[in-house]
Amino acid sequence: MNPSFFRNHHQFLMALLLMQAPDAGSGGINATAVKPDVGGDWPESGADLPEQMLGDFKILLPGISVFRLPANLAQLWHLITVEDKNPKSKTFGQTVERWQLKLDRSNPLIIESSARAGDIGDALTANFSTVPRPRGKKDDPATAWVADTAYLLDTALADKSRPADPELLKATINKYAGKSVRLQHGLSGQCRADRTVRLEYLDPTDTTFAAEQREQRRVIMEEVDATGAPTGRKGCGKRYYTRDFENKAPRSVDDKYFTEIECSGSYKDGAGVMQPCGAIVRGFPSVDGFLPPLGAK
């Protein structure tokens, strides 16, 4: 075929593709028959799932806000299996079932009132379970073990009925679907042991910082070795809470917290020597506490 027959190179390529395309009945890409799902849903060689392309998002900073519960709570309960760690429990050390109220992205808490007007309408995800947790020093015999759902009902919803039966507890909380609760929210994060670490580096592509009399730009990326190859190192597992994200020298009221911090944990290198972790840990909004309704006694 003479390419000059066509008006441009693009036309030539398209024509060539059409001439080479298989017949509709031959099972090629133009075939009309529906083909079965052949898989291919997962990364090759068991690699980690890549980050989702969700774009920029706002991180809700710590504070006290009034949230609206989802309109239907009954559908958001599910059973979880956990080890009973309460030394006062009859099932201490055993595997038990507990209920969890899962307020995810499809059914989040929505801010109705906040000191920061810009936060109104923002969403917060949370999990409230019937798993008792120590409300003090774990090894102190006097420490009370109380579940989040108890605080949700008794404190945030001001319902003092204290149902002992799990099904009755769920039914009682369900009655408050769509109602408002006042919560103290903060930030929490973890240097996850199942994720490849990311570190902060000077940006080698920023070559004008000296001439422009400014600091060299920094980038956060997967850790690499001296040759530039990814190390694949996983996180050390250390957890962080609201106080860890506090900015000790804020420049404004909107600068009181960092949303990313450097991990202060440690890990063993290939020679078995402990090394500082240094991974970048992102803080995610979380519920720090349950508050009574304004005006409640």
pLDDT, position 31: 57
Domain total of the chain: 2
- Which of 263, 258, 261 is CA-nearest to residue 233? 263
Q: Which of 185, 220, 242 delimits the end of a domain?
A: 185
pLDDT, position 46: 66
In this prediction, the residues of the chain whose per-residue pLDDT falls under 50 are 1-22, 24, 55-56
Residue 226 in domain: yes
Tell me: do 172 and 259 sit in the same domain. no
Which positions ≥6 away from 184 have C-beta within 8 Å?
Answer: 62, 63, 64, 287, 288, 289, 290, 291
Q: Based on C-alpha coordinates, what's the Rg of the chain?
A: 27
Kindly state the DSSP code that residue 130 receives in the 8-state scheme.
Answer: S
Domain that holds residue 157: 63-185
pLDDT, position 53: 56
Tell me: do 202 and 181 sit in the same domain. no
Whether residue 88 contacts residue 107, with contact meaning beta carbons closer than 8 Å, is answered with no
Q: Which of 117, 152, 185 delimits the end of a domain?
A: 185
**Rounded-to-integer distance, Cα 212 and Cα 183, Å:** 46
Tell the residue number behind the tokens 């593709």, with chain if given.
17
Residue 2 in domain: no
**Rounded-to-integer distance, Cα 111 and Cα 182, Å:** 10
Residue 48 in domain: no
Residue 180 in domain: yes
pLDDT, position 1: 41
Tell me: do 76 and 180 sit in the same domain. yes
Q: Which of 185, 207, 222 delimits the end of a domain?
A: 185
Tell me: do 175 and 87 sit in the same domain. yes
Tell me: do 205 and 174 sit in the same domain. no
Residue 88 in domain: yes
Tell me: do 150 and 251 sit in the same domain. no
Tell me: do 281 and 167 sit in the same domain. no
Tell me: do 122 and 212 sit in the same domain. no
